[in-house]
Copies of this chain bind each other. A is one copy, B any other.
């Protein structure tokens, strides 16, 4: 049985502890290693240790925090190849460049950006120091006074991983201890990541329970951890049902939960000039909805096309591309069955399946799928047809006017992204649609697919409910992502000796 990392040391559960194993999505076969499902007793111990670490971190300076984050990145870099291979084995996501380069670089890049943010005590840093000499009132932002519970998704085993990804980096940078829950679909990856973090922690002067890692738990025990007084915030990326379950428990406890849950990421297209633009859009959209097996949270699953002719040409072009594409490899057997059920529910709601739709082997694959629906049906069944289906599928909605597109947009739920796409040099006036889309999404794009999420300060990976649990934050892009795990603190007439260095 593989160990967990709690209160500064690795410990192995006894053989009576319930356990689980991972799978190889490419073959559908189980993998050998067994990982413990942590008990409520263990999670209670983890929470207590985190609370102690939180108190001890109050006396640790930014330099130690920053150097720890930098060391984590270095140790991960040194293990890049085995980690990427394990992630590939457990998730079926392409090894190279996706895991070994793109996502790995993003993971270590985030950690290094967070390291830089941790030591930044300047006026424009996330700490936002203000010294008001006239009143003697100072303020800054600081840690939460408890642990951040991080819970990562199935689809980004590195960059969003609970123990080394963006939430981890942001929470540590702000001076909080982290309790990281692994994802049951890639426990071997999590173990390798946590080992690197453990080595960096042992080399640092941080409290031993600054980071703790366990592989899995029963939902009820997980909810108890969410409501534990030692947990001051939750960072979660995953499915809507789980996210809403966490939200309810966290809300009742008065604990902020930052949840990235679901999004269909609508694209609105109107191509009024060069018809070759139809081909460019078809290429971009077909590529974007099949990328990573169509399992990106920013997959643009819904394409609303203005104009019969464009919709006709686009449908043919996309169908041609999807039919010629290899099946998408999905992360789990459940993902595969939910994919098929999702398509069935769309067909039941009146969508026409133009291609794909079937689960295929070996392992857990799915045919690239194009659905299509007319405006009238879309409008009538919008609450179904505007939902996210995880996997390589998109739905094309044909509307005959911009007014009809605007009308559909008004009924959209909160989204991570929304995109408008017209011919370059065209005359389409997107103003009225953008007015409707702007408050309904975190990121608005033009002539660009949303699947790429650059880790830059101007990124917003967030959006209105229910794409996330709170519209005011981003989970990607430093230093802004740190805001979730820091709070404003006012120091009113407080002596220098009691102030943090940057407020003296």
Contact = CB atoms under 8 A, between A and B. Distances in A.
Contact of A458 (B138, B254, B447, B457): B138
Nearest to A486: B472
A456 B498 contact: no
A81 B488 CA distance: 36
A458 B131 contact: yes
Q: Which of A254, A443, A460 has the most CB of B within 10 A?
A: A254
Given A255-B465, A494-B444, A55 B131 contact: no
A498 B439 contact: no
Contact of A435 (B58, B130, B446): B58
A493 B448 contact: yes
Nearest to A146: B439
A135 B474 CA distance: 18
Interface string A84-126: 0000000000000000000000000000000000000000100
* This protein's copies in its complex: 2
Interface in A479-502: 480, 483-484, 486-495, 497-498
A80 to B, nearest CB: 25
A457 B492 contact: no
A127 to B, nearest CB: 13
Contacts of A124: 124
Interface in A253-276: 254-256
A129 to B, nearest CB: 9
Given A446-B495, A472-B483, A456 B137 contact: yes
A313 interface: no
Interface in A387-426: 414, 417
A44 B263 CA distance: 29
A293 to B, nearest CB: 23
A503 B59 CA distance: 40
A309 interface: no
A139 interface: yes
A403 to B, nearest CB: 15
B489 A460 contact: yes
A13 interface: no
A490 B438 contact: no
A349 interface: no
A160 to B, nearest CB: 18
A473 interface: yes
Q: Which of A145, A438, A488, A495 has the most CB of B within 10 A?
A: A488
Contacts of A450: 492
Contacts of A484: 472
Contacts of A493: 445-448
A348 B248 CA distance: 35
A184 interface: no
Given A256-B470, A480-B488, A434 B498 contact: yes
Contacts of A417: 492
Given A144-B471, A247-B251, A255-B465, A492 B448 contact: yes
A444 B49 CA distance: 26
Interface string A447-471: 1101000101111101011100111
Contacts of A33: none
A131 to B, nearest CB: 7
Contacts of A472: 256, 483-484, 486-488
A439 B490 contact: no
B471 A135 contact: no
Contacts of A458: 130-132, 135, 137-139, 490
A235 interface: no
A135 B255 CA distance: 36
A232 B465 CA distance: 10
Contacts of A491: 443-444
A431 B498 contact: yes
Given A443-B490, A473-B488, A493-B445, A58 B438 contact: yes
Given A139-B459, A459-B137, A254 B435 contact: no
Given A142-B438, A431-B498, 10 more contacts: A135-B456, A137-B459, A138-B458, A142-B439, A143-B439, A144-B439, A430-B498, A448-B492, A450-B492, A459-B490
18 contacts: A124-B124, A135-B458, A137-B456, A139-B458, A139-B459, A142-B439, A144-B471, A232-B471, A251-B251, A254-B465, A254-B469, A431-B497, A431-B498, A434-B498, A443-B490, A444-B492, A448-B493, A471-B487
Closest 4 CB pairs of A and B: A145-B439, A254-B465, A460-B490, A443-B490
